Structure formats: structure tokens, C-alpha cells
Structure 1
Amino acid sequence: MFSTSAVDAQVTALREQIQATEDQLSQLREQLAHAEEAQHRAQDAGKLETDWQQEIMGALNNPQHQYYQHQPQPQQRFSLSNAEFKRYGRQLIMPQVGLQGQLRLKAARVLIVGAGGLGCPAAAYLAGAGVGTLGLVDGDTVEESNLHRQVAHSTDRIGMFKVDSALSYLRNLNPNVNYIPHRAHLTPSTALDIFDNYDFVLDCTDHPTSRYLISDACVLSGKPLVSASALRTEGQLTVLNNPPRAPGASDGGPCYRCVFPRPPPAESVVSCGEGGILGPVVGVMGILQALEAIKLITASPETATPPPSLLLFSAYSIPQFRNVKLRSRRADCTTCSANHTVTPASLTSGSMDYIAFCGVTNPVDVLPSSSRISASDLLSTLSTTSPHDDDAPVILDVRDPTQFELCNLPSSINLPWQGLSTRLREDPQVMEDLKDRDVLVVCKLGNDSQLAVQMLEAANPGIRSLKDVKGGFRAWRNEVDPEWPDY
């Protein structure tokens, strides 16, 4: 049964999508009108040129009008329109761009994969710079938790496809760009077909599986790749497959697998929802991606390709930026070496399992049902005992101190999962305080709490009973307390 608010949100989202489609149709009509006008001008110019040539030939046969031999034929005076000169003038006068650089931008076709924290600022600056064609790939919809960092979206577009929301913003910024929406997540079977329509690719995603896929597809399709990531207060950026060369070519730029041959352990991969992200941090990285893309596009053919490097950003460090040199292509790389095993056929056939390669696991499920209780069971336990009773269970909250400060259960004890093994090893009093007690462990989602239970069991079997709360505080909010903060 859908709630009224859910139906209202769906209606609003559909209206927004219809409006976005109508806006795109209006833009296409306007472009058609301009094209037809240009066509008429060309036809008129051709007629004028024919008349002019006839007049010249007549004059040449007339000795009294020999001066016509020195009159030039009419030509288009400038390569850009006055509107383009006015819009892009501040960058046109930069020697790094100039007229030729702006013409390269106008002819460029750029694909941005991911319309989130990285993709929003990257798309905005590329559209503002006058990239001719800009494609966006994303299958997600706008959520309220996105808005503090994904600046192309807005409150009234919650529930709308991120691609449509971003394109609505971008069309208002620069209606002269040709925008192409791809309202689905990138997959191995679709990547090459999509990439073939573009010249440059920006990886604005947030997971290793997509980063390996995008890099592989860029090598196979011969596209330079600008890749970035951000988490908490740190980010990193690199330009890959530049120059783009076929697998086995020693002068090609390294790919993502050259830099990271093996993915990080699955349990170490932390999302923004779990680890947090500071909005300006991901914004900085997205802007830097746009900058690197503009540098790639506007560079003249004679410009030397800079050596590969990895730019590291840390908002709370001094200095905030540092650069790490990268080596060239790896001789044993599975994607870009002479002995590569990643091929177009293996990619499109589905035999490339990026999820298995990255070791992505389902939510943690390591405890038997007898070692778990529900959020409702926790409520019953708290309702029937007093925290001052000697027999009352110990509520162990293993979130980090920052999350614990946001919201916590009365009389709960904060023992963060991060660093728990060190704490248990160096502070025996922790286990002594839990000895002969019933201990209930809780975290945000019910993952870290299971691992904490395992660690506590291994450290000391003297605890009377040890269980985790299934689903953590998300389940507590859904089942018990709807006013519990949703962060």
C-alpha cells in the first residue's frame, strides 16, 4: 500500500521528467530552427556567389571595368558567432585556450559516468566551457541526502532521475550544448557501445567495480579517462590511458589496472553513506576533473603528454595537495599489455564479472540467528529492565564517537569498532567490565556489530551472553522509533 507522500513524490517526479523532456524537445526545435536558418543563409550565399561570379566574368570581358579582377570573394569573417565570443570571451583570451582551443571544445564529445558529487560540478564546468556534446550516465534518482554535495540537483527534484535533474540544471546554464541522457547504470554489455560515441570519458562513480569497468572500456575503445574519487575529507585524481593506445603499445598511458592491479579488500571499501563526505571535498575533485578534461581537449597536437601521476588531496592537511608519480603501463596488465586478456568479446559477453573480481559481498551475515535479536526485541528488553539494575544488559554501541554523539540510547556504552582489536589487546579492563554480563551490540546497519560480536567472543568467553541487534539503528528507526535521526 503506497503512502500519500510516496504517491505525491512519484507524481512530482513524473511531472519533472515530462518537463525535462519537453525542455529537451523545445531545445531540439530551437536547434532545428537555427540549422534551417543557417541552411537558408548558405543557399542565399550560394546564389549571391553565383551572381557575383557572373558579374565578375562580365566585368572581365568589359575593358572599362578591369578593377574587378582585384576584388576578393565574400568569406565568413569569424569562426565563432558573436554570441559565442561573448559567452566564452574570458577563456578565449587565455593563450592556453584561444580560438583553436575553443573550436576543439565545441567539437568535443565528452561522457560523464555518474551524476553525483563528482559529476555535478564536472558537468557544470564542462557545459560552461562550451563542450559541444555532453553525455551523462546514471541510473539513480535524487535523494534528500544527496543535496549537500550534488549541487546540480534541488529539493523540488527529489525522486527524479539524476540524469534528468542534472540536464535541467545544465540547460539553464548553457542551452547551446548538445546534451545526451543515459538513464541507466553502465554495464559491461553497454559500455563499449556508449563510449564509441564520445571522445573523452570522466569516471565520476564511487565504487571499484565501476572504476575497473570504465577503465577497461576506455582502453578497448581508445578513449582518455579522467578518474577521481572522494571520501570523508580526502580525494584523488588521475588521467589514465593518455595517450590512448591499443593494448600492447608501450607509448600508451597506464590504465586503472596498471595503478591498482588488485582491488582493495571488500571489507575495507567504505561508501559515503557509511564513512561520510564533506561536500566541498568532492566538489573540488569534480572541478579538477573538468579542468583536466579541458586541458586534454584544448591541447594542440604538438603538445607533449605529461607523465602519468596521481594527485592526492586532503582538506585538513598542510599542504592540501601532493603529487605522486606513476609508472607507465605494466608489462603484465590484463587490459593494456601485449598479453591482455580483457577483450571486447569478454566484456560484452558478460564473462567479465567485476563484482566477483572486486570481492563485493552482500551485507555481513556471519552470526547464527541465536546470536541476533531484532530491534523490537531490544525495545522489549529495555522496557523490562532498568539500566541501574546489576542484571541489566550492557548496550554496546560500536559506531564511531561522532555518530554516537548524534544520537544514542540512554545508558549505552560507546566502544567503536574501528580500533576495537587494539583496545581489547591493550586494555584488559574492557573485557573485565563485560565479564558475566549480557551484552547487546548495536551499530548503524547491523554489519559492524556482527564483527564486533565475533571479536569479543574470541577475546574472552567470560561474557554471559553476547548478541547483536539485527539491522542496527536503521531497523530501530523503522520498527521502533520513526523519529530516530536518518543520516
Structure 2
Amino acid sequence: MSSVDAQIVALHAQIASCETQLQRLRDQLFEAESHRDISSGAATGQTPLSLVNVAPSSHPTETSEGFSHQEKGQKVAKIWPLDKHEYRRYGRQLIMSEIGLTGQLRLRSSAVLVVGVGGLGCPAAAYLAGAGVGTIGLIDGDTVEESNLHRQILHSTERVDMAKVDSAIASLKSLNPTVKYVPYHKRLTAEIALDIFDQYDVILDCTDTPASRYLISDSCVLLEKPLVSASALRTEGQLMVLNNPPLPAGNAQGGPCYRCVFPKPPPAASVVSCGDGGILGPVVGTMGVLQALETIKIITKGIQRSSEPPSLLLFSAFSNPPFRSIRLRTRKAKCSACSAQATVTREALESGSLDYVQFCGAVSPIDALAATERVSVVEYSRLYNSSDAAMNTQPSIKEHILVDVREKVQFELGNLEGSINIPYSAICRSSATASTDPLSQPPSEDGWVAQLRNLAEDRPIYVVCRLGNDSQLAVGKMKELGLDGGGTRWIGDIRDGLRAWRKRIDPDFPEY
């Protein structure tokens, strides 16, 4: 007999022995439950449910010697791997070869952590709960706002001001009460990340800041956890499955981490949030659903298995086709997190020496103008109201010009009467060198440069935007273009923008 044949025989014998032991444990469990039910029935005068209509099993019991049939008339309760309600609830996915009984058991015994219960986390958590993931953890320190509701589908109007985690769990329990939900009412920090992550099998990054993404990825590498990361802005989204398979740092066979793909964070000033850039609900919903799908694939295949090469999935709602995939490289040989030369260690993370906010750069409020170049909304309201009175009696007379530098789509949502719209993007594109000679200057968008230059020099220009940041930069650009006439014309901005105008002057002004 060859060594391979001997190994096969030995494995068969080991399997048979394990199955015999498993059957003995099942018999002991059944006997114990029967005694409990009989005792319970005697006390209540009822027949135990485990002994009602229980037919003898038609299947023999496998032992190390083969199959031994059960004694005639013996009543044995069939122990099914899933509860009856689970067969009904998950039946449509159980009959798929990609899931089956094994996949469903893996889902039931798995634990998934969703970091961020917003536009990504809500649909992801909903579909994971619907699929029967055993434990779902939810981390988020925010409360529900009305502006969240168009895309964060687990929240509702009645739950505005409620903690997002509590709101989400309320919806998830109504969807699937058999899942265990674990709330974390806090923002993720380096001090708590490892302790929380260690309790879960798969991590979902549903956050919206670079600092959080690096922290989550580093934690997953240190704990050898697969990471499903997604992001969305405006009409576009992206998805990556990172650290899959989740092998130790230094093992080149492991999947790349977030630092492998993005070794350096983007410039802080270039990072645009959903509040500033906008987001279409179905776009972020699509990416969240895809996160749930990838998580289910990871769990049902087995955490340590990965047959798919790493890739970056890009989604653009208004492109045709809307999806395209970019192949990613394997782990970088000198990655600071997952290579053999990694400098991101557990000690560094827990000690706080890794400052992710500093690494990504914090965007400070813009302070680009001198105090003499700015006015408050209260100061401007006096001028605005007196100007309105003058305009009502003499429409041709205007004492000043108000320039709104928001994009046209925002300007149309609501604006101050008499203001003109010159988007900041158009102002940025204008050339300072071309502005010295109006006759030789190429036509600009809407001719705004010439329009402002031809104003009387004693007519000041006030600039306003949504928050008071773009307006400051626009003032600087206008002066760079020479529209202040060498200092003879006053150009300045309205501090804190239209948000302050709504809060302090006109509460009916649209909030968005």
C-alpha cells in the first residue's frame, strides 16, 4: 500500500470516528431534552412536544463499522440543522447552489461589523440582516437629521434627532428579529478600534472621511480581517474588497490594504463631503447593496478563501455602461501596513502615536481676507434693506452689486433678490493675465469680468456663498483680476454666507 493510500484509509477512519462521536452527542442531547420535556409535561399535565407525532427515522446511523439500523418502534426526533422558520425565511437563497445549507450555516454563525450607519451602512446592514447574518454590529456617533432621509433608508421622519444606531436597529429588528444586533454609540477611534474589530469576522467601511478609512484598514490588517470598503459622491461610487484573503502582514499572498491602493491621502482641501458636493440616494444605495453582496460572498465561500483577484469597481450613474472594473496590484512590497517592513503596529495604534487626522490633514476654516474686507450678515442686511427700498422706487438705481458665487443649481434653489450668479468655478477659470486689457481679453463665461469691470468705481461688490468660504476665495480672485480698480472699488464678502443669513436674518430662506 502506498503512502497516499495509507493516508486516505487513515482519514476515512478518522472521519468515521468523529461521526460516531457526533452521533453519540446527538443521542445524549436528545435523551436529555426528552427527560426535560417529560418532567415538564408531568408537572403541567401536557404531553411533551418532542414526543408528539415523532416517526422512527428511516435513515440508518453511520458508525465506524458501517450502518446500524435503529431498533423497531424506537421514536427519534429529527434534529435539523436549521430551525423551521429559517427554512421558510431563507428558502429562496437556500435553494441556490452558491449558498445552500453550508452557506446559510456560515452566515448564521458569522459576525459582521458595519462602521457608519448612513447612506452606505443602511442598505448594507438591511441586506445582511435579511440574509441571516448571525450578529451585526453597528458603529455611529451621529443622530438622524432630516437631510439624511432621502438616502439613509433605515431611518424615518419620526426618528429625527434619534441616535442613528438605535434608529437602524429598530428597523432591522422589524426586518429580522432573529439576528443579534450590537450597538456602539460612538465615533470610531484608534483607542477602541482593535478591541471592537476583534469580535467580528468581516468589517464594512461605510464612512466618508479619509482618516476613518486608513484607521479601519490598518485595524483590519493587524487583526487579519477582510474589509469591504465603499464610497459615493454625487453620481459616482467605488467599491473594493481589501485584505482578502486576510493573511498576516508580510505574507505576499494576502490581499492589498487601503494603503497599498492609496499610499498617500488626497489633499485635505480637495476632499468634498456629501453636504458640499451632493449625493443621489440610489447611487450610495447601490454601493451599500454591493458591500452586502461582497460580504455574503466572503462568508459563504469561507473567510480564508479568495479566488477573485483584487479590483476596484467604479460606478457612474449617468455613464453607459455604468460599471467598470480596474485590476488592483497585490500587496505592495514596502507598504507601511501590510508588508514585512510595516511600521503600523498594534502598539503604535493603541498608544495614539498614529494620528490619522494629522496624516490626512485637517481642513481649517478659511480665513483669507482681512477684517476690513468682510461684513457680517447683520451689517449687510441694513444695506440690503435700504437698497431694496431704493430699488422699489427707482429700479434703475443700485447702490451696490451682490454676487452669489454658488453653482447655478444651488442658486436656483433660493437666492437673495437682486443678486447675480457668477459660479465660483467660472471665477477660478478666469486668467489674471488676460484681464489687464479688456479689448484683447477673450470672451469669458457670461462676460462676467467685463460686466463687473464696466461698473462705476464707486459701486462696491459684495460676494456671498453658502458657508462663507468660496466667497473669500472669489474676492481674492476678483482683486487678482484687477476688478477693484487698484483699490478704488471696495470688494468684500459676507461672513458665514447664506447659512448665517437664514439663522440670523431670514429663517424662511431655504435650508439644504
Task: Give 2:401's match in structure 1, choosing from 394, 403, 406.
Answer: 394
> 1:98-137: per-residue Cα shift (whole Å, max 9, x none)?
0000000001000000001110100000000000000000
Task: State the distance in 1 between where 2:249 and 2:275 align.
Answer: 37
Task: State the distance in 2 between where 1:200 and 1:262 align.
Answer: 25
1:449 aligns with 2:471: yes
Task: State the distance in 1 between where 2:68 and 2:338 align.
Answer: 60
Task: State the distance in 1 between where 2:179 and 2:298 align.
Answer: 19
> 1:350-392: per-residue Cα shift (whole Å, max 9, x none)?
1111111111212222222211111111111112234656662
Task: State the distance in 2 between where 1:304 and 1:254 align.
Answer: 12
Whether contact under 8 Å (2:245, 2:303) holds in the other structure is no
For residues 450-469 of structure 1, the aligned pairs below 5 Å read 450-460=472-482, 461-462=484-485, 464-469=489-494
Task: State the distance in 2 between where 1:233 and 1:404 align.
Answer: 20
Deviation at 1:284, TM superposition (A): 0.6
Whether contact under 8 Å (2:151, 2:280) holds in the other structure is yes
Whether contact under 8 Å (2:144, 2:163) holds in the other structure is yes
> 1:313-349: per-residue Cα shift (whole Å, max 9, x none)?
1111100111111111112211111111111111111
Distance 1:381 1:133, change over 3 A: same
For residues 422-441 of structure 1, the aligned pairs below 5 Å read 422-424=429-431, 427=443, 429-435=447-453, 436=457, 437-441=459-463
Task: State the distance in 1 between where 2:509 and 2:303 align.
Answer: 58
Task: State the distance in 2 between where 1:469 and 1:305 align.
Answer: 57
Letter in 2 for 1:314: S
Partner of 2:359: 357
Q: TM-score, normalised by structure 2?
A: 0.80
Task: State the distance in 1 between where 2:356 and 2:235 align.
Answer: 27
Deviation at 1:256, TM superposition (A): 0.7
Letter in 2 for 1:393: H
SS at match of 1:235: strand
Task: State the distance in 2 between where 1:181 and 1:216 align.
Answer: 22
Task: Give 1:473's match in structure 2, choosing from 491, 495, 498.
Answer: 498
For residues 8-157 of structure 1, the aligned pairs below 5 Å read 43-45=32-34, 70-71=69-70, 74=76, 76-157=78-159
Unaligned residue ranges in structure 2 (runs of 5+): 1-27, 38-66, 433-441
Distance 1:214 1:371, change over 3 A: same
Task: State the distance in 1 between where 2:385 and 2:85 align.
Answer: 70
Letter in 2 for 1:253: G
Deviation at 1:266, TM superposition (A): 1.2
Higher relative contact order, structure no. (Cα contacts within 8 Å, ≥ 6 residues apart): 1
* RMSD of aligned Cα (Å): 2.2
Whether contact under 8 Å (2:244, 2:306) holds in the other structure is no
Partner of 1:9: none
Q: TM-score, normalised by structure 1?
A: 0.84
Task: State the distance in 2 between where 1:359 and 1:94 align.
Answer: 47
Task: State the distance in 2 between where 1:402 and 1:145 align.
Answer: 17
Task: Give 1:176's match in structure 2, choosing from 175, 178, 182.
Answer: 178
SS at match of 1:406: coil
Give the greater-gyration-radius structure (CA): 2
Task: State the distance in 2 between where 1:81 and 1:216 align.
Answer: 38
Partner of 2:412: 405
Partner of 1:247: 249
Whether contact under 8 Å (2:246, 2:304) holds in the other structure is no
Task: State the distance in 1 between where 2:398 and 2:304 align.
Answer: 78
Task: State the distance in 2 between where 1:300 and 1:268 align.
Answer: 39
> 1:278-336: per-residue Cα shift (whole Å, max 9, x none)?
11111111000000000000014795421010111111110011111111111221111
SS at match of 1:312: strand
Task: State the distance in 2 between where 1:211 and 1:47 align.
Answer: 51
Task: State the distance in 2 between where 1:442 and 1:47 align.
Answer: 76
Percent pairwise identity: 56
Whether contact under 8 Å (1:243, 1:305) holds in the other structure is no
Distance 1:40 1:164, change over 3 A: farther
Partner of 2:222: 220
Deviation at 1:76, TM superposition (A): 4.1
For residues 135-284 of structure 1, the aligned pairs below 5 Å read 135-284=137-286
SS at match of 2:412: helix
How many residue pairs are counted as aligned between the two chains? Answer: 430
Task: State the distance in 2 between where 1:221 and 1:161 align.
Answer: 29
Partner of 2:436: none
Deviation at 1:456, TM superposition (A): 1.6
SS at match of 1:112: strand
Deviation at 1:433, TM superposition (A): 2.7
Greater Cα shift, 147-156 or 73-82: 73-82
For residues 307-322 of structure 1, the aligned pairs below 5 Å read 307-322=309-324
Deviation at 1:482, TM superposition (A): 0.3
Whether contact under 8 Å (1:424, 1:430) holds in the other structure is no
Task: State the distance in 2 between where 1:146 and 1:419 align.
Answer: 30
Letter in 2 for 1:403: Q
Partner of 1:18: none
The structure 1 segments of at least 4 consecutive aligned residues displaced by more than 6 Å after TM superposition are: 39-42
Whether contact under 8 Å (2:422, 2:448) holds in the other structure is no
Task: State the distance in 1 between where 2:303 and 2:180 align.
Answer: 25
Distance 1:305 1:69, change over 3 A: closer
Deviation at 1:465, TM superposition (A): 1.1
Distance 1:181 1:391, change over 3 A: same
Whether contact under 8 Å (2:245, 2:304) holds in the other structure is no
Task: State the distance in 1 between where 2:69 and 2:451 align.
Answer: 102
Task: State the distance in 2 between where 1:304 and 1:167 align.
Answer: 31
